[in-house]
Amino acid sequence: MSTVSPKAKLSIEQQLLRTRKVMDALDDWGLNGEQILRVLDLPETQRSRHLAKYRKDTPFPDDERVVCRVTFLLGIIDALRTSYPRNLQMGARWMAAPQVRLNNRCPLQVMLDDGEMGVVAVLSELDCAYAWELSGSKIS
């Protein structure tokens, strides 16, 4: 399903900033260690105890699946920030509340249950430009 185009190699500092931003959001959303591993699609060799290093000084692995998932999650984080610019806690509340267009499931559950397809569904719900691009629609 990956629709992320390859980008220029990020510096270690950029990788660390992305890692911390995603980990902060996953923590704010109330996910436990096992859930974080699932949402990030980290390799099975990773364990919950490895997550502490991502919160401090280690970037996520340079694994195509993980990079793709991180890119989608960063889109969700940014869309929540622009949707709720005056109250950053509203993003976490939105992620935990049932949403009609997600079949009355909360976005976190969609991401956990449906994997990459669920992450893309949540991103599409939040970012209409991304959903438009996914649809293959073109302006005539």
> What pTM was computed for the model?
0.85
Residue 32: is its pLDDT beyond 50? yes
Residue 130: is its pLDDT beyond 90? no
Given pLDDT bands bounded at 50, 70 and 90, which one contains residue 41? very high
| pLDDT value of residue 2 | 45
Rounded to whole angstroms, how far apart are CA atoms 136 and 78? 22
- Residue 77: in which H helix or E strand, if any? helix 64-83
- The whole-chain average pLDDT of the chain stands at 87
Task: Calculate mean pLDDT across residues 96-115.
Answer: 96
Contact 105, 97 (CB under 8 A): no
Residue 120: is its pLDDT beyond 90? yes
Contact 40, 69 (CB under 8 A): yes
Helices 12-28 and 89-96 cross at an angle (nearest 10°) of: 60
Residue 90: is its pLDDT beyond 80? yes
Domain boundaries, the chain: 12-135
- Residue 7: in which H helix or E strand, if any? none
